[in-house]
Structure 1
Amino acid sequence: MPASPIKLITFDLDNTLWDVEPALLRAEQAQYLWLQQHRPAVTRKFNPQAMRDFRVTHYKQHPELAHQISAIRISAVQAMLLAAGYDSDNANAGAQAAFDVFMELRHQVQPYEQALDVLQQLSKEYQLGALTNGNADIFKLELGDCFDFSFSAEQVDASKPLPDMFHAAMSAAQVDNHQVVHVGDNPHHDIYGAKQVGLFTVWMNSGDWRWPRGEPADEEISKLQQLPDAIRRIEAKLA
């Protein structure tokens, strides 16, 4: 049997391997409760919606942290704590502790059905890499045992669809662009971004969305169980 022309499969994480919204909601709630207990003045000044609104404004005011999702989240809480009257030391320590609470819950995700089985199967034939604009660490999850490496926007200081993460993955795996398939849920960040550097693409469309516009992915799936067959179809076109 001839060797596969595909050597590397890269994956987005949030909403590609799991639905991230429930975990983010729980994490936000846990962080607010921690602040309510340990820095109560800030929760008297900001209710949860006001905190979200403040964070959006803070993000816009700090474009230099656009790709540093953890740093900007900590920075926003620091600013709220200062606005609530805490001194610098209390604001800094409180923001970091609140972020630690957030991150613990942020990683309590429920992978999509058969995600582990599919990744274990693929890892026997291909290198696997994780590429995320978020701050999830795949190696904190059981799924991480299937991956060879991971890159985040924070690490490379550039978010998809910028090419930096895709180039980092190719360098780590020592492969060329025509040997890579990228799997992701976001048409712009994942599919457009990967295509711009010449990768093959699989759109994870778990919500039955209509393709927005532009060149579609090479393959489309609604469940991870369909991914191995999608990879095979890409390989067949290259044979």
Structure 2
Amino acid sequence: MPAPLPDLPPAQSLDKGRIRAITIDLDDTLWPIWPTIERAEALLLQWLTDHAPATAALFQSTEALRAIRNQMVTLRPDLNHDLSALRRESIRLALTQAGDEPALAEPAFELFFAERQRVQLFDDAHDTLAFLASRYPVVAVSNGNADVHKVGIGHYFQHSLSAAVLGVAKPDARIFHAAAGMLQVSPHEVLHVGDDAALDARGAMDAGMQAVWFNPAEHAWPYDTPPHATVGSLTALRELLD
């Protein structure tokens, strides 16, 4: 017989009455990110083939482009909170290594960045965001470089806060506290929603907020203290807060 599942820690009680504002993650919470990145990288590789053939010959796959982007994390740790800068500088490094003009990094990145904004929202994202925005002020809090206005959902948010702008990334409490400060509420009056157990749920709780873990893949919760609630869809989030 299979071993019994370990007992889970008891869930915290979500106090809906104390929620005065919502903060919400973007990538993998409102849309799946990797299909978008893969498409943007493929477009970037085609652009390099047309405009920087030596670079395209040296980096012949999207995996190679991603590898040099990941290398940049080590080479430029000062940029780790700014995914746009990391990507731009990784393109510049690729061009330099291949002997192409490094200034081509600018138009190459702009092409990549525009495609990166063409996300496919989860089917229930618009309805959920409309529900949240009708009841609470909502702030987007992301370590990524999605632009809610370019994505087409900016009208749901009072503010959008990124790690690149603030200079610190989740799970640092300062990014959560900055979001609360934008709305002139205390952290304990904010509910944060996000897919990453460490960066979103644990980070928000450590910052004094309530947290809903968006977990459609049904991963195991990795910490002793559970989130205030876990949902498998944005529709379930809407039902939780209704």
Structure 2 match to 1:41: 54
Paired AA for residue 184 in structure 1: G
Moved more, 213-222 or 8-17: 213-222
Report 1:52-201 matches (<5 A).
52-86=66-100, 90-92=101-103, 94-201=104-211
Structure 2 match to 1:13: 26
Cα distance in 1, alignment partners of residues 40 and 134 from structure 2 = 34
Which TM-score applies when normalising by structure 2?
A: 0.89
| 1:116-154 superposed Cα distances (whole Å, 9 cap, x missing partner) | 111111211100010000100112123221111000010
**Coordinate RMSD, CA, aligned:** 1.4
Paired AA for residue 204 in structure 2: A
Structure 1: runs of 5 or more not aligned: 233-239
Contact 1:202 1:230 in 2 (8 A): no
Structure 2 match to 1:224: 234
Cα distance in 2, alignment partners of residues 55 and 119 from structure 1 = 32
Contact 1:7 1:126 in 2 (8 A): yes
Report the alpha carbon displacement of residue 195 of structure 1 after superposing the two structures with TM: 0.6
Paired AA for residue 50 in structure 1: A
Q: In the comparison of the two structures, how many residue pairs are matched?
A: 226
Please give the secondary structure, in 1, of the residue aligned with 2:153. helix
Contact 2:41 2:65 in 1 (8 A): no
Report the alpha carbon displacement of residue 230 of structure 1 after superposing the two structures with TM: 2.4
Paired AA for residue 166 in structure 1: F
Please give the secondary structure, in 2, of the residue aligned with 1:124. helix
Moved more, 131-140 or 207-216: 207-216
Cα distance in 2, alignment partners of residues 78 and 141 from structure 1 = 26
Structure 2: runs of 5 or more not aligned: 1-15
Which TM-score applies when normalising by structure 1?
A: 0.90
Cα distance in 1, alignment partners of residues 93 and 162 from structure 2 = 25
Cα distance in 2, alignment partners of residues 96 and 206 from structure 1 = 37
The sequence identity of aligned pairs, in percent, is 36
Paired AA for residue 81 in structure 1: L
Structure 2 match to 1:28: 41
Report 1:205-224 matches (<5 A).
205-224=215-234
